């Protein structure tokens, strides 16, 4: 134990980043309560945390990766001094080039913050069933919550990348993530084992009635004119637009109206709008061109998209795609609002003019 205290003391003296006491204590408790035996650590530093983990139980093995050669050699020295080389395996190099075949009960990310998303994606396949991926420093000394705490350009760029990683976790449907205000900010991500519900199951769960008609794929208004829809309701078209600052909006209006982008821009307090590209449709709405629907708003969990509805659609049934362009469903407009409110998403109902 005296050796570990000395390692910690020297690390802080040499400004080597190691976890805050509350953060490492949380991790050690997690390892014990979840019976973790196999650990992968991205970012060895001088071996302090790997040693803490291995000392919890003689059955625990740790694989740890460090890119800095000086820290790597110091970690080897520290781990050997604690007589743990038989249970801690060290790798020197860029973690993204390390190809491991083993499974781990816990993957701990505490390396280059700008690479967190890549680390997560690279090693998620190594996660054992029931395991967790834990990341540290998501608060980054409070700067993620308050960027005014730094005036350094490089630090601000780093903070933005940490925020992107947090967004990545929040939007990741493959994993459920819990964010904890412990240490310097910790995330705990576990694989989502719940079966993904399709749109019809969601409507059923919300007691929303609908009628459906299957048909040939509809990619544009010209295709829509060739398909006879035998359902009651106003046919709806949906536009996904953005301004130069990437302020985005999903706009739903009757099919017969020609959208006035200048008016929509005024509603958004923007000057000029353009249509989002297919990659943005996939990233933000999880949909492909031709299948855009008001139902897509359920994927905007970070509320980055303004949802605008034409008041002409109110008090009537509407015809929209059920997340694919090979079918149309008829539902009440009020039920669409019920659907949107279920996802706690805001919306605006406005009178949209038709461009001449």
Task: Give tens-digit pLDDT for 146-203.
Answer: 888 888 888 888 889 999 999 899 888 889 898 988 988 999 999 987 666 789 999 9
pLDDT at 286 over 90: no
pLDDT at 118 over 80: yes
Does the pTM of the predicted model rise above 0.95? no
Centre a 10 Å sphere on the Cβ of residue 177 and count the other Cβ atoms it contains. Answer: 18
Sorted by where each starts, the structural domains of the chain and their CATH numbers stand as 2-191 (3.40.50.150), 199-350 (3.90.960.10)
pLDDT band at 140 (very low <50, low <70, confident <90, very high): confident
pLDDT at 289 over 80: yes
């Amino acid at each position: 134990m005296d050796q570990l205290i000395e390692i910690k003391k020297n690390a802080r003296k040499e400004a080597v980043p190691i976890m805050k006491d509350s953060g490492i204590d949380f991790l050690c408790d997690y390892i014990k309560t979840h019976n973790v035996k196999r650990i992968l650590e991205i970012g060895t530093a001088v071996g302090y945390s790997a040693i803490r983990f291995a000392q919890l139980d003689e059955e625990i093995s740790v694989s740890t990766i460090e890119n800095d050669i000086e820290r790597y050699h110091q970690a080897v020295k520290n781990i050997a001094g604690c007589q743990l080389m038989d249970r801690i395996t060290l790798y020197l190099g860029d973690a993204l080039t390390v190809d491991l075949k083993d499974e781990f009960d816990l993957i701990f990310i505490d390396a280059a913050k700008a690479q967190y998303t890549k680390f997560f994606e690279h090693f998620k396949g190594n996660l054992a069933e029931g395991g967790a991926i834990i990341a540290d420093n998501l608060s980054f000394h409070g700067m993620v919550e308050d960027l005014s705490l730094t005036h350094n350009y490089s630090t601000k760029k780093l903070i933005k990348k940490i925020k992107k990683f947090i967004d990545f976790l929040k939007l990741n449907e493959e994993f459920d993530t819990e964010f904890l205000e412990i240490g310097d900010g910790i995330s705990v991500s576990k694989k989502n084992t719940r079966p993904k519900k399709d749109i019809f199951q969601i409507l059923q769960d919300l007691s929303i009635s609908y009628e459906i008609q299957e048909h040939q794929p509809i990619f544009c208004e010209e295709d829509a004119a060739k398909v006879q829809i035998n359902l009651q309701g106003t046919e709806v078209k949906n536009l996904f637009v953005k301004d130069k600052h990437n302020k985005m909006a999903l706009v739903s209006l009757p099919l017969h109206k020609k959208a006035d982008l200048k008016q929509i821009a005024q509603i958004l307090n923007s000057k000029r709008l353009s249509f989002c590209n297919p990659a943005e449709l996939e990233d933000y709405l999880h949909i492909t061109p031709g299948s855009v629907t008001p139902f897509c708003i359920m994927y905007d969990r970070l509320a980055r998209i303004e949802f605008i509805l034409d008041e002409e659609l109110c008090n009537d049934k509407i015809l929209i795609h059920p997340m694919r362009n090979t079918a149309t469903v008829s539902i009440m407009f009020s039920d669409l609002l019920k659907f949107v409110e279920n996802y706690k998403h805001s919306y605006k109902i406005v009178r949209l003019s038709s461009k001449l």
